[in-house]
């Protein structure tokens, strides 16, 4: 089940089939331990980027744990602005990582051609902060953010890549709760990382985001000197000057990001609330597609659900979390569930009115039909606006099974909403005499 084919003197893999599934093509790039090839899934026809790593070389230099960490991190961080990992395979001598193929260019290449206008820089910075906020919510810190690790797809969307130096919140920590591993690229590294006194991974990432924003707007680095120690001294002091073309709002935000004191450095929530960050993107820069988060029109849906007058045993079992076999087939942790089910006495209209009441209390928009309710948050979360769909099944005229699913947004935010808002609000209408095995929300 390994790789079939050979590598020529130019590093091209000829007639190679990986695990009988991927056909490898031209070389896209290479680093110290890995080469990245264009590859095609022969079953689906989907194009991917295939990272090929020599096991022996990685083991020899003691990098196996770092590589395993990169794979683990990429499995955890699924976000529109992060390069997606598809699958990992291995032969006796090599490890193959199939990743999303980003067909654009490095953001670095755009900056090399000249500084960006504030509207364009803002669009990339908003996407960067969205991705980093998502990573931090999962306890993951990138630790090597720089324009070279930010890719652009065909539509101009930013994708964060290269999690080789990333860290979990549980790793590299001493009793003080701080990270102690020095890493990253000198010009983008925060003062506290250089000082080797321990640092907060989230705050260090935000410093790097500040350097990136400066570079996008200026076309050059805020801290630079031929003498590395002189450059480090400038970083320690936060000694930089903003060019005259920076707007006052941009200058203010960058100053707060490049605060050498991590304790007073701006947080992600404050960044998102800043006037510069919140400015709308001009229509000319917006991608030409419909807003993904708009409320759908029930009347136009072909699969409009009718109230089921009868349900057989198979239907009821399939709606019961107590019989949910998905954990046997999925890696997803139960804390990251995207749906929940509960039983209730009453009528569909009574359930709908209760869900509408919940929506009103939390300032969510709501749309409903006879058997469906959709709630949508008014504020953007880590993956857009949180949207929740509830389907109501009538087992008998006075007994309902309600299936609640995440319809859009971040799974962690959905679970927090269900735990903190939805379940408490529905507690008094839940069926109170369940079978012993039932897992009706408590």
User: Chain-centre distance of CA 6, in angstroms?
Assistant: 36
**Residue 48 DSSP class:** E
Strand partners of residue 411 = none
What's the CA dihedral at 369, 370, 375, 376 to 10 degrees?
-10
What is the C-alpha separation between 364 and 19, in angstroms, rounded?
47
**Residue 104 DSSP class:** S
Q: Hey, CA dihedral for 146, 148, 153, 154, is it positive or negative?
A: positive
Candidates 365, 395, 419, 396; CA nearest to 404 is 419
Active site residue 205: no
DSSP per residue over 230-298, as a string? HHHHHHHHT-----TTS-HHHHHHHHHHT-S-TTTSPPHHHHHHSHHHHSPPPGGGS-SS--TTSPP-G
Q: How many CB atoms lie within 10 A of CB 291?
A: 8
92 is in an annotated binding site: no
Residue 372 tokens read as 């469906």
Q: Hey, CA dihedral for 176, 182, 184, 189, is it positive or negative?
A: positive
Residue 265 tokens read as 């450095």
Active-site entry in 3, 119, 133, 144: 144
Q: Are 228 and 209 in contact (CB under 8 A)?
A: no
Q: Are 213 and 254 in contact (CB under 8 A)?
A: yes
The backbone region for 428, taken as left when phi is positive above 0, alpha when psi lies in -120 to 50, beta otherwise, is alpha
Question: CB-based contacts of 349: which residues, under 8 Å, 6+ apart?
Answer: none
What is the C-alpha separation between 160 and 151, in angstroms, rounded?
6
Question: CB-based contacts of 45: which residues, under 8 Å, 6+ apart?
Answer: none
Give whole-number Cα distances, 15 to 8, 198, 276, 310, in Å.
11, 49, 51, 57
What is the C-alpha separation between 243 and 241, in angstroms, rounded?
6
Residues belonging to the binding site for ATP are 55
From the annotation, which residues make up the binding site? Answer: 55
**Catalytic amino acids?**
144
């Amino acid at each position: 089940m390994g790789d079939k084919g050979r590598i020529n003197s130019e590093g091209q893999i000829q007639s190679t089939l990986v695990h009988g599934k991927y056909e490898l093509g031209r070389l896209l790039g290479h680093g110290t331990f890995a080469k990245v090839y264009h590859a095609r899934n022969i079953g689906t026809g989907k194009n991917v980027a295939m990272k090929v790593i020599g096991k022996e070389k990685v083991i020899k230099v003691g990098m196996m744990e770092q590589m395993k960490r990169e794979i683990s991190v990429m499995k955890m961080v699924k976000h529109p602005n992060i390069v997606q990992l598809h699958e990992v395979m291995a032969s006796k001598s090599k490890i193959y990582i199939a990743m999303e193929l980003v067909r654009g260019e490095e953001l670095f290449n755009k900056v090399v051609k000249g500084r960006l206008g504030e509207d364009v820089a803002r669009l990339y910075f908003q996407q960067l902060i969205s991705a980093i906020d998502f990573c931090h919510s999962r306890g993951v810190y990138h630790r090597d953010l720089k324009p070279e690790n930010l890719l652009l797809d065909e539509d101009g969307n930013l994708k964060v890549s290269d999690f080789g130096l990333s860290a979990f919140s549980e790793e590299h920590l001493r009793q003080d709760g701080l990270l102690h591993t020095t890493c990253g690229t000198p010009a983008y590294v925060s003062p506290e990382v250089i000082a080797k006194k321990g640092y907060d991974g989230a705050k260090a990432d935000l410093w790097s985001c500040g350097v990136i924003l400066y570079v996008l707007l200026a076309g050059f680095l805020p801290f630079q000197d031929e003498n590395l120690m002189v450059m480090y001294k400038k970083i320690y002091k936060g000694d930089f000057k903003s060019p005259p073309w920076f707007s006052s709002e941009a200058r203010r935000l960058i100053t707060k990001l490049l605060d050498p004191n991590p304790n007073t450095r701006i947080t992600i929530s404050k960044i998102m609330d800043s006037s510069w960050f919140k400015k709308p993107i001009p229509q000319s820069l917006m991608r030409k597609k419909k807003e993904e988060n708009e409320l759908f029109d029930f009347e136009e849906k072909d699969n409009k659900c009718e109230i089921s007058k009868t349900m057989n045993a198979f239907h009821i079992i399939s709606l019961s979390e107590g019989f949910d076999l998905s954990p046997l087939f999925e890696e997803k942790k139960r804390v990251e569930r995207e749906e929940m089910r509960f039983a209730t006495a009453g009528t569909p209209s009574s359930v709908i009115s209760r869900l509408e009441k919940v929506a009103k209390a939390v300032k969510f928009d709501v749309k409903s039909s006879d058997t469906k309710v959709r709630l949508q948050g008014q504020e953007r979360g880590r993956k857009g606006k949180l949207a929740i769909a509830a389907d109501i099944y009538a087992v008998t005229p006075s007994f309902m099974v309600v299936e609640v699913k995440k319809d859009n947004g971040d799974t962690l935010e959905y679970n927090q909403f269900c735990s903190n808002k939805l379940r408490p609000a529905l507690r008094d209408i839940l069926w109170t005499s369940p079978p012993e095995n039932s897992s009706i929300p408590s």
